[in-house]
Amino acid sequence: MAVPTKKSSTPPGVAIWVSVTLLWGTVFYWTSIFMLQLASFRLGEGPFNPSKNEQWQVYGIQFVVLILFGLVAMMVKNLFEPGGKKQIERWQNISEGKGEKLFISFAGSLATSFFFTTLTALTFLATSGFVGLAVRFTIPVVLLAALFNIAAGIAASLIVGLIFLIAKVGRKKS
């Protein structure tokens, strides 16, 4: 006897991968700048205080980097998990109320906030000559800033969780 299957879902396409990468990459770009400033100050490594104009110039480059990163991440994900079965199953679990309740993708938020701090620091280092900005980061500054930025990751996870609660996403169907 055949077991009825749920409507088959498809894994996210290029537009979703790029837009989600741009969303979180942009959020964590700005929080990373603040955390890099804070870590530089706390460790006495010299000021990191780019002007708003310099921040926007570097963001323009970061924007392109984020698009490329989203595309590469999608290709790697599809290489290791063709068809995105685990991701589709996770979405179905969330829509049926079996997913996280308050902190949405908690571990992913922590890793993402840490990674994007490093990416932001590398983008500033790589573009400093082009933008005309003197940037020097030590590994301890970047690591401390990335640890500080985990707070932003927790906040992002909590905000998305609250949005899901308010929008009643993931409530068990009666």
Rounded CA-CA distance 50/120 in Å is 13
Evaluate whether residue 139 is within a structural domain.
Answer: yes
Does 59 fall in a domain?
Answer: yes
Judge whether 31 lies within some domain: yes
- Residue with structure tokens 């088959």? 8
- Across the chain, which has 174 residues, the per-10-residue mean pLDDT values are 51 84 91 95 90 94 95 88 72 63 63 89 92 88 94 81 70 53
> Does residue 8 form part of some domain?
no
Find out whether 43 and 141 touch, Cβ atoms under 8 Å.
yes
Residue 2 lies in a domain: no
Give me the number of domains the chain comprises.
1
Residue 149 falls within a domain, yes or no? yes
What is the per-residue pLDDT for 5? 45
What are the tokens at 172? 């068990």
Range of the domain at 74: 14-167
Q: How far apart are the C-alpha atoms of 35 and 29, rounded to whole Å? A: 10
User: Is residue 3, in this structure, part of any structural domain at all?
Assistant: no
